[in-house]
């Protein structure tokens, strides 16, 4: 568990952040200039806050009150920066093992294991400047992991890559999370990356933590327009893959006792899945629809209805323990006389599988 409570002022910019992260991936989200990088530089020890306290598990790594400031070398934080920052005068293997030959660290995870996982074993003898952007960033991730970190911090690791390279790296990050279970702090200004990876979200705005909490809850929180507005806003649902229907090539997912069907073979039985549904792709019906081409119809309970100043109303619905958002016109909300607590049917037109 990592407990952060820091504040700092540089020129006109004041940063004040307080949050707690447990295992898994915690994302720090905010637009550029919100103070994301400043915050993680303090957590890693690359800079010192003016006041506050940072605790890693039982270990106090920073406490202004008693003048504790563990230097970056001893904090045990692996860092992946926006640029790969590989050492150009060493080959890939020397880079990967830098913390071991230069700093005497011993890694719990072996070089071979990490190289296989990241798909970089064939690059060992290569010089770094010949690598592609995606390869460089994978080597940088491997190098950080091999320093035996208690915490892995990734500062917009995909920001300098184009879309296809991003798509190349994301699966590796997911594998890291499931295979090694190292807590990760993931900084990004892309909500798409965060939806796919994060368990917890810290929302940073103008140097202040506006909100933090479990990802799905944060994404459907209508009080947080930074996350919940925009044309692609929606909900994130956690489901389990139940079975694959070979005849129709449909994969069925269990969601709180109900079923979602997605085309294609999308994984193995029993696998956890993140399903993303945009609010504008959800329609609501008061009665179970009869014959319809929409395959995904689930029963939900309306939790709240928020009317915006425009033509739309945001409807938040409960599915068991989870939330599904629907964006309807105010007109249809009135015509159907929807109210909180009402049992309705959600017709989901399009579903994206994140994981």
Partner 1 sequence: MSFYLTDAEWAAIQLSLQVASLAIAIALPPAVLLGYALARWKFSGHTLVSALVHLPIVLPPVVTGYVLLVLFGRQGMLGSFFEDAFGLVFSFRWTGAALAAGVMAFPLIIRPVKLSFELSGAQLEEAAHSLGTSRFKTFLLITLPLALPGILSGAILGFAKAMGEFGATITFVSNIPGETRTLSLALYTEMQSLSGDAGAIRLTVIAIAVSIVALVFSEVISRRLSRMLGGQHD
Interface with partner 1 includes 92 (CB under 8 A)?
no
Measured from the CB atom, the residue of 14 and 72 that comes closer to partner 1 is 72
Which of 77, 169, 184, 198 is in the footprint of partner 1 by CB under 8 A?
A: 77
CA distances from 350 to 95, 267, 294, 353 (A): 44, 19, 9, 10
Q: CB of residue 110 vs partner 1: minimum separation in angstroms?
A: 17
By CB under 8 A, how many residues form the interface with partner 1?
27
Query: 132-161 mask for partner 1 (x: CB under 8 A)?
Result: -----------xx--x--------------
Q: Tell me the closest approach of the beta carbon of residue 117 to partner 1, in angstroms.
A: 19
- Greatest Cα pair distance, the chain, in angstroms, is 71
- Does 85 sit near partner 1 (CB under 8 A)? yes
Which part of the chain contacts partner 1 (CB under 8 A), choosing from 49-57, 68-76, 166-174, 327-335? 68-76
If one asks whether residue 46 binds partner 1 (CB under 8 A), the answer comes out as yes
Q: State which of positions 270-309 bind partner 1 (CB under 8 A).
A: none
Per the CB < 8 A criterion, the answer to whether 259 and 178 are in contact is no
Q: Token pair for residue 85?
A: 């920052």
What's the half-sphere exposure (Cβ side, CA atoms, 13 Å) at 35? 25
Contact 171, 138 (CB under 8 A): no
Q: Report the alpha-carbon distance of residue 23 to residue 3 in Å, rounded.
A: 12
Q: Cβ distance 116 to 150 under 8 Å?
A: no
Q: Which of 11, 88, 257, 341 touches partner 1 (CB under 8 A)?
A: 88
CB of 99 to partner 1, least distance (A): 4
Instruction: Kindly state the smallest distance separating residue 310's Cβ from partner 1, in Å.
Output: 45
Q: How far is the CB of 322 from partner 1 (least distance, A)?
A: 38
Q: How many CB atoms lie within 10 A of CB 345?
A: 16
By CB under 8 A, residue 81 contacts partner 1 = yes
Q: How far is CA 190 from CA 28, 157, 158, 220, in A?
A: 10, 11, 9, 16
The stretch near partner 1 (CB under 8 A) out of 8-16, 75-83, 170-178, 255-263 is 75-83
Stretch that binds partner 1, among 58-66, 124-132, 268-276, 295-303 (CB under 8 A): 124-132
Nearest in space to 4 (alpha carbons), one of 58, 52, 45, 68:
52
> What is the C-alpha to C-alpha distance for residues 167 and 193, in angstroms, rounded to an integer?
10
From candidates 8, 16, 38, 99, binder to partner 1 by CB under 8 A: 99
Among 30, 35, 78, 234, binds partner 1 (CB under 8 A): 78
Contact flag: residue 104 with partner 1 (CB under 8 A): yes
CB of 86 to partner 1, least distance (A): 8
43: which residues sit within 8 A by CB, 6+ positions away? 2, 4, 54, 77, 151, 153, 185
Q: Burial, 100: exposed, middle or buried (Cβ in 10 Å; 0-12, 13-18, 19+)?
A: middle
Nearest-angstrom CA–CA distance, 95 and 275: 37
Strands 200-205, 25-29: parallel, antiparallel or unpaired by DSSP?
parallel
Whether residue 267 contacts residue 274, with contact meaning beta carbons closer than 8 Å, is answered with no
**Nearest distance in Å: CB 71, partner 1:** 8
Smallest gap from residue 33 Cβ to partner 1 (A)? 20
DSSP 3-state of 139: helix
- Cβ nearer to partner 1, comparing 130 with 181: 130
Residues in contact with partner 1 by the rule CB under 8 A: 44, 46, 71-74, 77-79, 81, 83, 85, 87-89, 98-99, 102-105, 127-129, 143-144, 147
């Amino acid at each position: 568990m990592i407990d952060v409570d820091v504040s700092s002022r540089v020129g006109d910019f004041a940063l004040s952040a307080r949050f707690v992260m447990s295992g898994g991936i915690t994302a720090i989200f905010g637009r550029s200039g919100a103070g994301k990088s400043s915050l993680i530089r303090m957590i890693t020890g690359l800079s010192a806050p003016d006041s506050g306290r940072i605790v890693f598990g039982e270990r106090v790594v920073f406490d202004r009150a008693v003048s504790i400031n563990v230097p970056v070398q001893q904090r045990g934080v692996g860092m992946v920066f926006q640029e790969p920052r590989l050492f150009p005068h060493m080959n890939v293997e020397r880079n990967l093992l830098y913390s071991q030959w230069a700093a005497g660290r011993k890694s719990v995870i072996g070089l071979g294991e990490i190289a296989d996982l990241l798909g970089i074993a064939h690059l060992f003898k290569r010089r770094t400047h010949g690598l592609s952007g995606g390869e460089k960033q994978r080597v940088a991730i491997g190098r950080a992991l091999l320093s035996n970190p208690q915490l892995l911090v990734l500062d917009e690791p995909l920001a300098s890559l184009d879309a296809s390279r991003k798509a190349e790296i994301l699966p590796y990050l997911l594998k890291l999370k499931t295979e090694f279970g190292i807590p990760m702090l993931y900084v990004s200004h892309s909500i798409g990356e965060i939806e796919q990876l994060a368990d917890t979200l810290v929302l940073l705005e103008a140097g202040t933590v506006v909100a933090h909490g479990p990802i799905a809850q944060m994404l459907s929180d209508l009080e947080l327009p930074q996350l919940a507005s925009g044309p692609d806003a929606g909900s994130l649902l956690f489901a389990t893959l139940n079975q694959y229907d070979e005849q129709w090539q449909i994969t069925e997912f269990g969601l709180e006792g109900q079923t979602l069907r997605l085309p294609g073979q999308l994984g193995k039985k029993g696998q956890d899945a993140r399903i993303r549904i945009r609010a504008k792709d959800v329609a609501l019906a008061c009665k179970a629809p009869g014959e319809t081409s929409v395959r995904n119809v689930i029963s939900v309970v309306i939790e709240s209805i928020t009317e915006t100043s425009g033509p739309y109303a945001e409807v938040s619905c409960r599915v068991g323990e989870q939330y599904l958002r629907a964006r309807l016109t105010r007109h249809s909300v009135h015509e159907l006389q929807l109210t909180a607590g009402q049992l309705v049917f959600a017709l989901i037109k399009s579903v994206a599988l994140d994981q």
